[in-house]
Amino acid sequence: MPLQKHDEELEFLSHQSASHGGLSNTYACPKLSSAKIPKLSPECPRLEFGPPKGVAKKTKVVTVGIHGDEIAPLYALNELFQTGFLSNNWTRDHCLMYPFTGSNTNHLLDERIVFILGNPKAVSMNRRFVDVNLNRIFKPSLMSMETGDLFFKETHEMSRIQEIAMAIEECDEFLDLHSTSSPSPPFAIPGDSSRSRELAISLSVDFVIENLAKVIEGTTIDYANRLGKICCCVECGEHTNRKTIETAKELILQFISGDRTPRAKEVISCSSSQCLCKGFKFARDIHAFQRVDADELIATDDLGEIRCPFRDSYIIMPSSNHILGEEAWFWGVPKQ
């Protein structure tokens, strides 16, 4: 593609993004036309592709960096842009630029795709969050301007809620990408509907964990789920592992393609969580998705021994930074 034409097209993209609903002036990206390749960053935390709101037949939203230290999915997205993702097959009638070939991808021309960097300030500071965990405050009671708690209203994360919540409200399908502090296979947490589960199972992950979205309140997925959206959160792997970036790239492409071919290796049902109480200590080395059997000793706390109450279950998301009152881990049972 001639460079001049490419520049014109990106200028058009910039114009489209700035002039159609949902994108406030604060987040217009003035550098986009000269950058040649779109880039999501703390300076440009939102990019939109496709027909504008009201014209698009479907809107898909992808969030990355909801936690500021989880930048692998952000790298993945920008690497996809670098390799031409959403920058091929541009037409002036449809500003979606799609990476797929084949006749079954024409539907993508009618779709609007929104990418949001959840917590740009925390990403700049390489911290999980600035004031409070952004992925625990998507609760209507906290988000309300009238009844919301004053402490939360003044936090940095509350200033991000409105844009992300509005994008979720306006979308049809939502994918939220994260990574983990310790080694973990990729796993998906779908919303509580058959279509959300179908989305999760179509992703290249080792595990799909059903019912977990209901157990953790105030997450983006909890919020999307309450609104009846097709939604899924994915932990793509360890923050610093190169493979995590490759996994995230694959997941973004699979989500946007709309192809629901089953790809997940195993489905687990989350039954409950183990609260982290005073004096908590693991009794042995525990790794993510460790399989444990009935009555096996897992940990101890001031109340005594914590043994596995189930036959053949998984330890999901064992806590590495022990915070009193939070979950020590979640119990998962393989789905037959």
Q: Which residues bind Zn ion (CB under 5 A)?
A: 67, 70, 178
Give me the least distance between CB of 153 and Zn ion, in Å please: 23
Q: Is the dihedral of CA 76, 173, 254, 204 positive or negative?
A: positive
Strands annotated E in the chain: 46-49, 58-64, 111-117, 173-180, 187-190, 207-210, 230-238, 266-275, 281-282, 290-292, 297-301, 304-307, 313-316, 327-334
Cβ-based nearer residue to Zn ion, 48 or 238: 238
Name 173's bridge partners: 60, 230
Cβ-based nearer residue to Zn ion, 23 or 221: 221
Cβ-based nearer residue to Zn ion, 46 or 67: 67
Give me the least distance between CB of 270 and Zn ion, in Å please: 17
Report yes or no: 229 and 171 within 8 Å, Cβ to Cβ: yes
Helix (H, G, I), strand (E, B) or coil at 279: coil
Give me the least distance between CB of 237 and Zn ion, in Å please: 12
Supply 295's token pair: 């009555």
Cβ-based nearer residue to Zn ion, 99 or 237: 237
Cβ-based nearer residue to Zn ion, 66 or 306: 66
Give me the least distance between CB of 120 and Zn ion, in Å please: 15
Give me the least distance between CB of 177 and Zn ion, in Å please: 9
> Residue of minimal CB distance from Zn ion?
178
Degrees, nearest 5: CA angle 69-218-74: 30
Give the DSSP letter of residue 312.
S
